[in-house]
Chains A and B, each alone.
Chain A
Amino acid sequence: MSEANAIMKPEELQPAAALARKTLEQLDAILLGRKELHRLMLYGILARGHILFEGLPGLGKTALVRTVGHILKLDFKRIQFTPDLMPGDVLGTHILQETGSGKRELVFQPGPVFTNILLADEINRASPKTQSAMLETMQEHCVTLLGTTRELPRPFFVLASQNPVELEGTYPLPEAQLDRFLFRLLFDSMDAAVLEEIIAGRRRGELPAPTWQMERHELESLFQTMDRIYLPRPVARYIARLVTATHPESAEATEPVKRYVTYGASPRAAIAIAEAARAHALVAGRPSVGFEDVKAVAQPVLNHRLILNYQARFDRLNAAKLVTELIGQLDETGLNLPADLELATR
């Protein structure tokens, strides 16, 4: 293990962990009542993954994304996806312009995708053609038009949202694009106490400005720290077993998985769990990933990657429930002790 990749000492990790915690504190202070969601959002950012938000209108999806952009001092753009939105509206297009020398030439006009944080609002309202235009940007972080590839600014995140109830005139995201989202986070309704606090403390629901913003070099240092979080081999094996167990033909698949799942999660899911678990460990101030880090992030990583059969729909079963059951049943270390021997937790 090289010096750059060596496991960090406490004094090396603490500043990054403090930065992460500070970011969370800002988020929790600005947006009330969604602490767990803020954590997952931060894990997604640290893992440099794209996030799909799902929730009813007015629950604060855009506010969250905008606040993250402010705190991280990142460029933020929003596209309202509609059925007539074209790929050029997203990626940019070449327009004919007259140069100073009087010569006319095609000049590339970048689209809103050239930003750090792109909020793709109601992404499922755009046509499959426009949705597919996002594939390269999300995976390769670049845009290729007329044979020219242009790099997107780093970091680049797509934070998309979709409305789960208004399905008229929508185009469900293809599996290939769903798989490119690190997390699918569900926005549920707030409880009365949080709503009361928002109404009482926020005129017209306006968000307070952050009292602290992260500098670009601090964000870079966070990403560098992320790269040095160590993933032990038993944990890597657990992630691999967990993802494999989502396939119905797997030996470790649970009975519900065998019964309800048509296709399990892809290898990209295993990579996503590993990266998100690293972020979880960093925020917790640990230099290595533990089993509990994997368990904390497995649910949002896997819940949009399992393709269930019609039987699951009949039995009103969703992927989240299946993943929860799977995590509960799968032995983390695969120790395979005899049935009459049991390890007792502290």
Chain B
Amino acid sequence: MNASHPQALQAFVRKVRFLLLFREALRWVSAWLFLWGAIVLALRIAGQPAGGWPAAGLLGCLPAALAAVMQARRGLPAFAHLRANYDRLNTCGGVIMAAEAADMSAWESHLPAPAVPGLRWRGRRTWLLLGLAALFAATTLWLPDRLTRLASRRTLEIGKVVGELQAEVKTLAQERLLDDKKADALEKELSRLQKDSNSTDPGKTWEALDHIKEADANTAQLAAEEAIKKTAALAQAQTLAQAMQQAADSGMSDATAAAAAADLESLLNAAKLEEGVLKGQIPPELLKGLTGLNKEQMSRLMKALQANKDALNGTMSDLARLKMIDADTLAKCLGAGTGGDPGALADYLSHCQGGGDPDLLFSWLAHPGKGGPGGGGPAAPMTWQDQVSEKDTKYQPHALPPAGKLDTAQLVGVSRTAPKVNADAPATAAGALDQAAGSGGSAQIQTVLPEQRAAVQSFFKRDQ
């Protein structure tokens, strides 16, 4: 209980003003803590070393509170307003307010007992905001480094690409298209890229990955080109060997067999199986005595040729599965050198009696067809001859049907003077105002349709 109304009024004014300032200060401090927390977080993510941040944050609360007080002071309610409220809340009936005009101390005893009116502040939201701000600031300050690093060094999602490239490298190494040293180096490079990739600079990572992919693709393409050549040579050698085996059974002469063996040797030498990245091998004892190979050795030779061919095809299939070569290249590889007819060739060898033409043989091998001495030569280019000329050609004439109106049209003459008016001719029947009413008529005649008749009748009945 206060001693007098003026004292209670002063206490009330102080209370209201303090609460307003305090409330505003809390709001500003909350805002400052949020701001400071955000700054700390940003600095930590940027990798700035933690210096005197806590001290700066706490010291910053003071200017924030002072700024809030300065700001809020301008909006504080006037003393007259607060006095009016004091008067109202104490049911003083305007006596306290009348103090603005005169000394009202004489009326003090007639007033209710002085009491400072209560001021209810529902500050839960403000306090909650401050608590959240403080919690946020503290969290940003004491957040473990590994979490801030997570935010700062976010790796790229390149696991799938790296996995594909690793499979490519592994396949190339398995197929001996890459040497072990280079394959290891590429594996390490891929692992390093996956580990060190950074979302802040993705271009560098993607560039390195593209480079490896391009190198893999080039290696595979070179291997494919080599495989196509070798497969073609092996297929031709296989056809010839098969023909020689069949011809030997049907009485091929020794001279022809020797020539064919020489051709086979030259084909195998041209294939260069032992060279390049896709190395293959024919048993040396078979290569040495190609002229005098017996049936069993010939079978072994063909098996060896087929095995080499299968190995090349398998390698190409693996590369195609990893999409290192396209489907067309794979098809070229698988189909290289095929199409030769060993039966026809065996027939040729058995009939040529040593007089065979090696060039024709190779041409036949190069352009397989139904050729051979009895079956025609290889496919020949098409030629155009005996062209038909239109000279002296006669066509049968056909008359066109006549036009629609022209059949009745007739030219009567061409006038060079003004046309004559025929007075006997009837006047034009339908003018613009034909059948229009004498007054208020219209040039256009509206026909009342049956379905409109009822509406028209009801319109005229309305006035009756």
Contact = CB atoms under 8 A, between A and B. Distances in A.
Interface of A: 1, 6-7, 9-10, 230-235, 281, 284-293, 332-338, 340-346
Interface of B: 16, 19-20, 23, 77, 80-85, 87-95, 97-98, 100-102, 104, 106-107, 110, 112, 115, 117-123, 125-126
Pairs of residues from A and B, 8 with the lowest C-beta to C-beta distance, nearest first: A344-B118, A232-B97, A288-B94, A290-B93, A290-B94, A234-B84, A288-B98, A7-B102
A233 B117 contact: no
Contacts of B19: 341
Given A235-B94, A337-B77, A290 B88 contact: yes
B100 A233 contact: yes
A334 B77 CA distance: 10
B130 to A, nearest CB: 14
Nearest to A7: B102
A340 B80 CA distance: 22
A55 B102 CA distance: 44
B22 to A, nearest CB: 11
A340 B118 CA distance: 14
A333 B101 contact: no
A343 B23 contact: no
A6 B117 CA distance: 29
B110 A285 contact: yes
A345 B84 CA distance: 13
B97 A6 contact: no
Contacts of B118: 343-344, 346
A256 B369 CA distance: 105
Contact of A10 (B20, B100, B107): B107
A286 B115 contact: no
B16 to A, nearest CB: 8
Given A340-B126, A344-B119, 12 more contacts: A9-B106, A10-B110, A232-B84, A234-B97, A288-B94, A288-B95, A290-B88, A290-B93, A291-B94, A333-B88, A343-B85, A346-B90
A335 B77 CA distance: 7
28 contacts: A1-B101, A7-B102, A10-B107, A10-B110, A230-B94, A230-B102, A231-B94, A232-B101, A233-B97, A281-B93, A286-B95, A289-B94, A290-B87, A290-B97, A333-B88, A334-B81, A337-B20, A340-B121, A341-B23, A341-B119, A342-B119, A343-B85, A343-B118, A343-B119, A344-B89, A344-B117, A346-B112, A346-B115
B93 A342 contact: no
Contacts of B121: 340-342
Contacts of A284: 93
Nearest to B87: A290
Contact of B106 (A1, A10, A281, A288): A10
B110 A344 contact: no
Contacts of A342: 119-122
B91 A346 contact: yes
A331 B98 CA distance: 20
Given A287-B95, A290-B87, A1 B119 contact: no
Given A7-B104, A10-B106, A345-B89, A288 B119 contact: no
Contacts of B85: 333, 335, 343
Contacts of B115: 346
Contacts of B81: 234, 333-335
A73 B126 CA distance: 65
B97 A235 contact: yes
Given A234-B80, A346-B117, A332 B94 contact: no
Given A285-B110, A292-B93, A332-B88, A341 B120 contact: yes
Nearest to B83: A234
A20 to B, nearest CB: 15
B295 to A, nearest CB: 109
A346 B117 CA distance: 6
A232 B82 CA distance: 14
Contacts of A232: 84, 94, 97-98, 100-101
A334 to B, nearest CB: 7
A290 B118 CA distance: 20
B82 to A, nearest CB: 8
B119 to A, nearest CB: 6
A286 B94 contact: yes
Contact of B123 (A9, A290, A340, A344): A340
Contact of A230 (B77, B98, B117, B125): B98
Contacts of B100: 232-233
B27 to A, nearest CB: 10
Nearest to A232: B97
Contacts of A286: 93-95, 110
A340 B104 CA distance: 34
